Amino acid sequence: MKNSASKVYLVGAGPGDPELLTVKALNVLKKADVVVYDRLVSQEILDMIEPGATRIYVGKAASNHHLPQEDINALLVTMAESGHTVVRLKGGDPFIFGRGSEEAEYLTDHGVGFEMVPGITAASGISAALGMPLTHRGLSTGVRFVTGHAQAGVGLDLNWKSLADEQTTLVFYMGLSNLPEIATNLMAEGLPADTPAAAISKGTSDDQRQCIGTLGNLPELVVDLDLPAPVLIVVGRVVGIAETLNWQELPYEDANGALQFPKEVERTA
């Protein structure tokens, strides 16, 4: 039986830009007693939390988990059963590589009510910020969201043959450190080395940087440019039209590492 006096909101904060936070997410955030938040939640969104609310950081980075997932699960239950309105705030969307479903299962098993508040996931928010559609008639008939992260010392266990489809856009989450492996395996299964590919760092934020190249040279370009995490990797023919659809007017680095500017922006340096 659920405890009707307790509730946890599993909330997606979006890809970083505070203006991409949904109205519902903001309303829930404003009434929270406790906010349990991740590393990828931007400071601008954290500033929207009411001054009297308790903030608990539980961020994770590669090989560095501030709090193990099992402890986060238990924390949510403890806070809710203490009578608090709890917001579990995650970057992107809680159900897309956010482990929100694991937390929802744990809450259910312990009789704690919860509500999902979806967020704009990194794939759609960041690709839109770069003027890069995930699907486009004649270029891509579908899109796949793929984990680019594996446990330490373990290679990516993916069906590379099924992923190596020229008609599909591939979006790799958390794939920066495994980018060479990703490129090598996709090319080994027949995806051409000249397939357009992009790496976007800190997408939709003021610190966004991006590198546009090909599947064959993107790993080297990312190293040369020293792109900081978090980085989203997009592979597919839709990447090739990012320059013409760059409606945020952001300069970007091409396959040769040269800085390029959209036609609407005057080069000042």
> What is the per-residue pLDDT across 210-230, written as a single tens digit (0 to 9) for each?
899 999 999 999 999 999 989
Q: Are 171 and 236 in contact (CB under 8 A)?
A: no
pLDDT tens digits along 136-191: 999 999 999 999 987 666 778 999 999 999 999 999 999 999 999 999 999 999 99
- Would you mind telling me the total number of residues written for the chain in this entry? 269
pLDDT higher than 80, residue 108: yes
- Domains plus CATH for the chain? 3-120 (3.40.1010.10), 123-260 (3.30.950.10)
Question: Would you state the pLDDT for residue 259?
Answer: 62
Determine the average pLDDT of the residues in 49-60: 93
pLDDT band for position 3 (cuts 50, 70, 90): very low
pLDDT level of residue 62 (50, 70, 90 thresholds): low
Tell whether the model's pLDDT for residue 8 goes beyond 80.
yes
pLDDT confidence tier of residue 91, bands split at 50, 70 and 90? very high
Residues serving a catalytic function are 38, 60
160-174 confidence digits (pLDDT tens):
999 999 999 999 999
- Pairing outcome for strands 64-65 and 231-235: unpaired
**pLDDT-derived band of residue 59, with 50, 70 and 90 as boundaries?**
confident
Mean pLDDT across the stretch 64-88? Answer: 91
pLDDT, residue 264, reads 36
Tokens of 65: 């988990």
The whole-number average pLDDT for the span 220-245 is 89
Binning pLDDT at 50, 70 and 90, where does residue 239 land? Answer: very high
Count the Cβ atoms, other than its own, within 10 Å of residue 187.
Answer: 16
User: Contact 30/48 with Cβ under 8 angstroms?
Assistant: yes
How large a percentage of the chain has pLDDT more than 90? Answer: 75
Mean of pLDDT over the chain? 88
Confidence at 97, pLDDT banded by 50, 70, 90: very high
Neighbours of 30 (CB within 10 A): 12
This prediction's pTM: 0.85
- Residue 158 CA neighbour count, 13 Å, CB half: 25
Q: What average pLDDT does range 53-71 have in this prediction? A: 81
pLDDT at 262: 47
Residue 159, CB half-sphere, CA atoms under 13 Å: how many? 4
At residue 150, the pLDDT reads 76
